[in-house]
Structure 1
Amino acid sequence: MTAASAQPLPLRLEFATVEDAPELTRLWYNAFNTPALLAIWPDTPGVRQWWEETMRHDMQHQPRERYLKVVDPQSGRIAAFAKWSLQSAEERGPRWPAWHPDMDPARCDAFLQNLEANRARLVGDARRNFYLDMLATHTDFRRRGAARLLLEWGCQEADQANVPAYIDASDEGRVVYELYGFVALATQPGIASMVREPRPKEV
């Protein structure tokens, strides 16, 4: 085998489908396994089922909630995925369905209300903006450009629509998002609320 043939094939960006929900859920727990997040979304069979049903519902009933996946063509595995919300919070309506009984509703409500309040304060409830709701890369595929593909897609959509993009970034992800023009406008322990203004179209 030559050195050239040993190089991994480029990762491929695709839209996710309802059939992907179980693998996306497994990937979510691989990427977001911190004590703080597991206190909100505990890793139980019931909450995993809740995640799968939530994703399927979005894909089937919320056409502007776009789930994208990055696929490794060699193994067929999903290396990373993202959910881009291409609408304002007002247009979208409730972000989550009813919490699962395994989840602490007071903790979940407080977490969600904090995030939604930051987004409303920084970009407005009604002002159109695109929200990177989540982006997860499996630990087996870190540093292979998967996040770049997912970020570039959403940033290009925002630029074409001439609207800002918004994200609540982890400390680890903040550095990556800054490379794509996101600026932290508010911070709290473990989370940076970041906005990227649209870039002018090239003439």
Structure 2
Amino acid sequence: MPLTLSPLTPSDTLSWTRIRLLAYAGPTHNLVHSRPPSEDTIRKVAAERAREIGRKDMWHWKVVDSEEEEGRGEGKMIAFGIWSLVGGNEEGEGGEGKEKAEQEPPFLPPELNLPVLSALLTPLRNAQKSIMAGRPRPYLMLNSLGTHPEYERRGAGTMLVRWGIELAERKGWEVYCDATSKGKGVYERVGFQMVRRVVFDRSVWRERERGGEEKGEEKGEEKGEREEDREKGGAEEEDVDVHFCMLRNVSGKTDMEE
């Protein structure tokens, strides 16, 4: 099989950044960014990710298509998976990278729409804290997973997920991630179960972009009713981003209710 799994290196971070942009492209990504990231932004993000590699409690992996050639002729990177340990002190790929990363302030791309990003991520982080509160620590978290669109449905994502599962099984850790509708089935096939849905309503932010900020704020109660309906499956989801909080315990099952 031409696909191989190996650790990401600092020289891979530009490919990682470009693949992530393609893999995450869509209406929510367009809201989170006021305009497409420039080449300068892409390279600065890649440089920051290079400093991230080697941090404690983090693991960076890639899938390479050995039949494709790129750069040094070692095959073409087509997918990535980033894992972290929450609540532990496990040695990941090394301990020095964390100290280096903390010496410099994080780079914030000028294209980012920070209020939208916060509105998207804060409910996901709160859901994670709520779900994992009182559960065994440490646990493994899949921070990010992406495949180049031209190489989807070849098993690269599953390879990356299985690596984390095998690590968690050896260590006796539970595994947590959040998934989109597109990726939910991948996780379910390897033992994850959905424990919560988190809905991000893009229409509210589109109204604000059109100058309807006041109108959007006044519709807060109506927005809550719409989200409640969606939780029950009784409303259209044309302009929402639904994330699924997924959990896998050591045996591949979860004792949590939806």
- Regarding TM over 0.5, the answer is yes
* TM-score after normalising by structure 1: 0.83
Contact 2:124 2:198 in 1 (8 A): no
Supply the AA of the counterpart residue of 2:83. Answer: W
1:57 corresponds in structure 2 to 51
Change in 2 beyond 3 A, CA 1:36/1:49: same
- How much does 1:90 deviate? 11
1:24 aligns with one of 16, 24, 31: 16
Secondary structure at the residue paired with 2:79? strand
Q: What is the CA–CA distance in structure 2 between the aligned matches of 1:178 and 1:167, rounded to whole Å?
A: 11
Q: What root-mean-square deviation, in Å, do the aligned CA atoms of Structure 1 and Structure 2 show?
A: 2.5
More off after superposition, 191-200 vs 145-154: 191-200
Alignment gaps of 5+ in structure 2: 69-74, 91-97, 99-104, 200-241, 253-258
Percent identity (aligned): 26
Alignment gaps of 5+ in structure 1: 1-8
Alignment of 1:2-151 (within 5 A): 9-41=1-33, 43-45=36-38, 46-60=40-54, 62-75=55-68, 76-88=75-87, 97=106, 99-124=108-133, 127-151=137-161
Supply the AA of the counterpart residue of 1:110. Answer: A
Secondary structure at the residue paired with 2:67? coil
Q: What is the CA–CA distance in structure 2 between the aligned matches of 1:97 and 1:89, rounded to whole Å?
A: 23
Supply the AA of the counterpart residue of 2:25. Answer: N
**Runs of 4+, deviation exceeding 4 Å:** 89-92
2:168 corresponds in structure 1 to 158
Residue 169 of structure 1 pairs with residue 179 of structure 2: yes
Q: How big is each residue's C-alpha offset from its partner over 1:106-133, in whole Å with a ceiling of 9 and x where there is no partner? A: 2222322222111111113993111111
Supply the AA of the counterpart residue of 1:51. Answer: V
* TM-score after normalising by structure 2: 0.66
More off after superposition, 17-26 vs 106-115: 106-115
Q: What is the CA–CA distance in structure 1 between the aligned matches of 2:189 and 2:45, rounded to whole Å?
A: 30
